[in-house]
Amino acid sequence: MEMINLTIDNKPIVVKKGTTILDAASSIGIDIPTLCHMKLHDMNIENKPGGCRVCVVEVKGRRNLAPACCTEATEGMEINSHSLRAVNARRTVVELILSDHPADCLVCAKSGNCDLQDLAQHLGIREIHYQGSQSHYREDTSPAIIREMDKCILCRRCEMMCNEVQTVGVLSTINRGFHSVVSPAFEMNLDHSTCTYCGQCVAVCPTGALTEVDHTGAVIRALSDPTKTVVVQTAPAVRAALGEEFGMEPGTLVTGKMAAALRRLGFDYVFDTDFAADLTIMEEGTELLGRLNKYLAGDKQVKLPILTSCCPAWVKFFEHQFPELKDIPSTARSPQQMFGAIAKTYFADKMNIKRDDLVVVSIMPCVAKKYESGRDEFAVNGNPDVDYALTTRELAHLINLGNIDFKSLPNEEFDNPLGESTGAGVIFGTTGGVIEAAVRTAYEVQTGKALKRLDFEELRGMEGLRKATIDFDGTLIHIGIAHGLGNARKLLEEIKAGHSEFHAIEIMSCPGGCIGGGGQPYHHGDVEILKKRQRAIYAEDKNKVLRKSHENPYILKLYEEFLGEPLSEKAHHLLHTQYFDRS
C-alpha cells in the first residue's frame, strides 16, 4: 500500500494513497466542516457530489481552494484548513445558501437537528450579505413523508440513498439553475410514485426539506379524550435509540424509562410490539416449516425461498418492482399490524371496550409504518387496526411536551397481556434478528429437540448481504439476509432467474435494519451509532429469561383462548394479508 506524507495545519501526517483531504484531516482530529458530503463508513455508502464547497481548504502552491471531501491528498501537500481565505469562502458559500432559504428555524421540524443551522452557528454567521429572490415550490404531503423543497439545498444525499442504496429511483434533480429541485419523475407527488416510504432520504437530509408526517397532535387529542382508551405499542428498535434524544450515550437501553414515560403521558396500557414479534414468529415460522416440509417431501411446486414480510417498505418495494414474485413472501402481517388486529379484537373483547373507543398508537423507528397503518386492508369498516404510528423522534417530542425529565425516570414494566415478550421478539430490531428468532422456534418445532445454543453469531453482523447454513438435525437450511433494498434486489433477481440457493431470506429496507430506520434519532452519518444500537439489542435479548417466541406464556394463552393454533382460520383472518401488483 503506497503511503503519502503531507501536513495539515502544520501537523505532519502519513496516509494511504487515495485518502481524501477530509478523511486525512479527521484522522488527526481536525474536523473540516462539510454539508453535502456524507459517508457511512464500512457500509459502502457515500455522497460526494462536491457541490456545496463548504469544505474548501487552502493548499500551498495551488491557485484555487480545494474541496476537501473530494480532493485526494498527494505527496508533500501543505494544507491550511482554516486560512482566512478558506474561512471567508466557506462563510460566503453558507451565506449564499441562506439567502435562498426560508428563515423558518424557530418553527422548523428540523430545528436543533439541522446540519445547515449547525453550520451557520459554527461559522458564526450573524448577517446575510446577499439578497436575491427565493425559490418556491409547492409542498408535497404523502401518507408518511413531507417534501418542503423551499428548504432543499440540493446536496443530493436523498438521491444517493434512493437511487444507489435503495435502487428505488424515485428522486432526481430536475430543471435547471434557480428552478432546480429534487423531485419524482414528472413532478408527481410522492404518493403517486414508486416510493417505498423507507424514509432513508429523510434520515440523511441535512435540512427540513424532507421530514415525516407529524401525528403527535392527533395522539395528544386522543390522550385527552375521556371517552377513549388509548393503548401504545413500542417497536424493538426504539428502546435502543430513544435515549439519544435526551443526550444519553448511543446504545443505552431505555426500555424501562420508556415504559415509565409512556405511562406518564397518559396511555392507559403500555404494551410492547415485541409481543407481536413473538406472534409473528409463531405464524411465519409455521408457514416456513409448512413450505419446507412439503419441499423436502418432494413437492416441487412449493414456493421457496420464503421471504420475511415485517418491513412495509420492503413490501411496497416488491409490489412495485417484482410483482411476479408476490406469492413468495410470507403472508404474515408485520408485528405492528398483528398487534393492532389483536388489540382491537382479543384485548378489546377482554376489556369490554368498543372498537371505536379503543385507540392504538405505535412507536416505531420507521417512517413506512405510517403508510402501512393506513393501508385499506388493515382497517375494519374504516376503523384502522393501528390509529397512529409515531416515530422514535416524535415520541421524544411528546415526552418533552409532557414536561417529563426522561433521564431521571424509574424503570417500569410493560402491562399485560400484550406486553410480555421474549428475546426473540427483541432482536427483530436489527438486521438478522427476525430470521434468528424464526430459527430458534422453527428448529425446536421441527426437530422436537431443545437448542443447545441460542446465539447464532453466523446470522449477525452489518454486511449488506449475508448467508449462513443452519443444521436442523441433519437437514441443512440455507438462509440469506439482506438489508438495504439494493441488496434485496440482488437476491430477488436470483430468485427470478430461478437459481436462488436459499430456503428462507430476511429482508429489511433500512441499512442496519430497524435500528437504522428512517424514524430513528438522526445519526448524522455516524455508523458507530448504529453498531452501538445493534449491540444494545443483543444485550437486551441476552438479559431475557425467555428467548424463544414459542415459550412466551401470553402467546400460548392467546392461542389457547382465542386463535386456536398458528395458521388457523382466525389467525389467517387477523394475522395474515395479501399483496398487490402495483407495477
Partner 1 sequence: MPKIKLAEKTVELIREICAQFNNQETELINVLHQVQHKLGYLPAEVQEVIAKELNASVAKVYGVVTFYSFFTMLPQGQHPISICMGTACYVRGAEKVLTEFKRQLGIEVGQTSADGKFSLSCLRCVGACGLAPVVLVGEKVYGRVSPQQVSKIIAEYQDGCASAQSA
Active site residues: 284, 287, 310, 330, 369, 372, 377, 514
Region 135-174 residues binding partner 1, contact defined as CB under 8 A: 163, 168-174
Q: Which does 508 bind (CB under 5 to 8 A by kind): partner 1, ligand FES, ligand SF4, none?
A: ligand SF4
Q: Which does 240 bind (CB under 5 to 8 A by kind): ligand FES, partner 1, ligand SF4, none?
A: none
Q: Is the CB of 493 or the CB of 501 nearer to partner 1? A: 493
Q: Quote the Cα angle for 271-200-342, to 5°.
A: 25
Burial (CB count within 10 angstroms: exposed 0-12, middle 13-18, buried 19+), residue 497: exposed
| Cα gap 81→76, rounded to integer Å | 16
Q: Across-strand partners of 380?
A: 383
If one asks whether residue 486 binds ligand SF4 (CB under 6 A), the answer comes out as no
CA end-to-end span of the chain, whole Å? 48
Which of these segments, 30-38, 195-203, 362-370, 532-540, binds ligand FES (CB under 6 A)?
30-38
If one asks whether residue 206 binds ligand SF4 (CB under 6 A), the answer comes out as yes
| Cα gap 319→100, rounded to integer Å | 39
Helix (H) or strand (E) holding 557: helix 553-558
Q: Is the CB of 168 or the CB of 279 nearer to partner 1? A: 168
Binding mask 302-341 for ligand SF4 (x = CB under 6 A): ---------x-xx---------------------------
Q: Which of 36, 223, 442, 495 binds ligand FES (CB under 6 A)?
A: 36
The DSSP code sequence of 243-282 is GGGGTPPTT---HHHHHHHHHHHT-SEEEEHHHHHHHHHH
Region 98-127 residues binding ligand FES, contact defined as CB under 6 A: none
If one asks whether residue 201 binds ligand SF4 (CB under 6 A), the answer comes out as yes
User: In this structure, what DSSP letter does residue 65 have?
Assistant: -
Which residues are within 8 A (CB) of 94 and not within 5 positions of it... i.e. 6 or more apart? 35, 54, 116, 119, 120, 123, 125
For 542, left (φ over 0), alpha (ψ -120 to 50), or beta?
Answer: alpha
Q: Which does 373 bind (CB under 5 to 8 A by kind): ligand FES, partner 1, ligand SF4, none?
A: none
If one asks whether residue 182 binds ligand SF4 (CB under 6 A), the answer comes out as yes
6 closest CA partner among 70, 86, 22: 22
Backbone phi, psi, residue 241, to 5°: -135, -25
Q: Quote the Cα angle for 507-509-511, to 5°.
A: 105
Q: Is the CB of 253 or the CB of 510 nearer to ligand SF4? A: 510
Which of these segments, 51-59, 277-285, 461-469, 502-510, binds ligand FES (CB under 6 A)?
51-59
Region 354-383 residues binding partner 1, contact defined as CB under 8 A: none
If one asks whether residue 497 binds partner 1 (CB under 8 A), the answer comes out as no
User: Closest distance between ligand FES and the C-beta of residue 36, in Å?
Assistant: 4
Query: Can you tell me whether residue 499 is helix, strand or coil?
Result: coil
Region 496-535 residues binding ligand SF4, contact defined as CB under 6 A: 508-510, 513-514, 517
User: Closest distance between ligand FES and the C-beta of residue 160, in Å?
Assistant: 13
If one asks whether residue 158 binds ligand FES (CB under 6 A), the answer comes out as no
If one asks whether residue 55 binds ligand FES (CB under 6 A), the answer comes out as yes
Q: Which does 192 bind (CB under 5 to 8 A by kind): ligand FES, partner 1, ligand SF4, none?
A: partner 1
**Per-residue cell: 191:** 404518493
Q: Are 263 and 232 in contact (CB under 8 A)?
A: no
Chain contacts with ligand FES (rule: CB under 6 A)? 34-37, 50-55, 67, 69
Residues lying near partner 1 in the complex (CB under 8 A) are found at 163, 168-176, 183-186, 192-194
